[in-house]
């Protein structure tokens, strides 16, 4: 059946440590690609920036919370962007920001870039679908 392909932009507001919403977002992203659409960007805002952490340690019998995002970035070329003002507040710093603010180390996984809200605005402006995950 013919399905027009669409451009999706995703906004993730929730931390991977609270509830299922962030993992639902990652699974949704995977399903969007499986249906033949493209994802222009996944933008992480507020507590959502915690998804970019390279430092979280989970019990062995719980699903990985970082791997699904890294796969989307590295295997499927999906752009993952952490909002810089939120990221700083949540201690999500890449090496550049860590040096800039004199912090001992970067804390984010390289699959995520850190940028401004303009990236969200840009993604929303050119997307057919804008889908938010929160709570």
Partner 1 sequence: MTGLERKRLLLIIRHSPYGSSLARASLDVALAAAAFDQAISLLFAGDGVLQLLPGQDSGPLGVKNLGRLLASLPLYDIDQVYVDAETARRYQLDLAAAPLPARALEREALGELIAAHEHLLGF
Partner 2 sequence: MTLHTLSASPTTAAFADCLRLIAPGDALLLLGDGVYAALPGTGPRRALGACGAALYVLHDDAAAAGVLARIDGETVVDMDGFVELSERYSRQLAWY
Identified catalytic residue from 39, 83, 84, 92: 83
Task: Report the residue number, 45 or 92, with the smaller CB distance to partner 1.
Answer: 45
Q: Half-sphere exposure (CA, 13 Å, Cβ side) for 64?
A: 9
Q: Is residue 46 close enough to count as binding partner 1 by CB under 8 A?
A: yes
Contacts of 110 (CB under 8 A, 6+ apart): 94
Among partner 1, partner 2, none, what binds residue 46 when CB lies within 5 to 8 Å by partner kind? Answer: partner 1
Task: Report the residue number, 30 or 103, with the smaller CB distance to partner 2.
Answer: 30
Give me the phi and psi of 23, to 5 degrees please: -70, -35
Among residues 26, 45, 78, 81, which is the contact residue for partner 1, using CB under 8 A?
45
83 counts as catalytic: yes
Taking residue 111's Cβ as centre, other Cβ atoms within 10 Å add up to 18
Among residues 77, 85, 96, 100, which is the contact residue for partner 1, using CB under 8 A?
85
For 84, the token pair is 């810089």
Active site residue ranges? 83
């Amino acid at each position: 059946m013919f399905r027009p392909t669409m451009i999706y932009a995703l906004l993730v507001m929730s931390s991977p440590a609270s509830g299922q919403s962030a993992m639902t977002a990652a699974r949704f992203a995977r399903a969007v690609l499986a249906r033949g659409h493209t994802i222009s960007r996944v933008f992480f805002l507020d507590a959502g920036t915690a998804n970019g952490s390279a430092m979280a340690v989970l019990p062995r019998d719980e699903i990985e919370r970082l791997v699904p995002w890294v796969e989307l970035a590295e295997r499927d070329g999906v752009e993952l962007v952490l909002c810089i003002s939120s990221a700083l507040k949540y201690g999500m710093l890449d090496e550049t920001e860590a040096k800039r603010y004199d912090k001992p180390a970067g804390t984010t996984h390289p699959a995520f870039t850190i940028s401004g809200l303009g990236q969200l605005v840009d993604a929303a402006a050119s997307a057919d679908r804008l889908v938010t995950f929160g709570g």
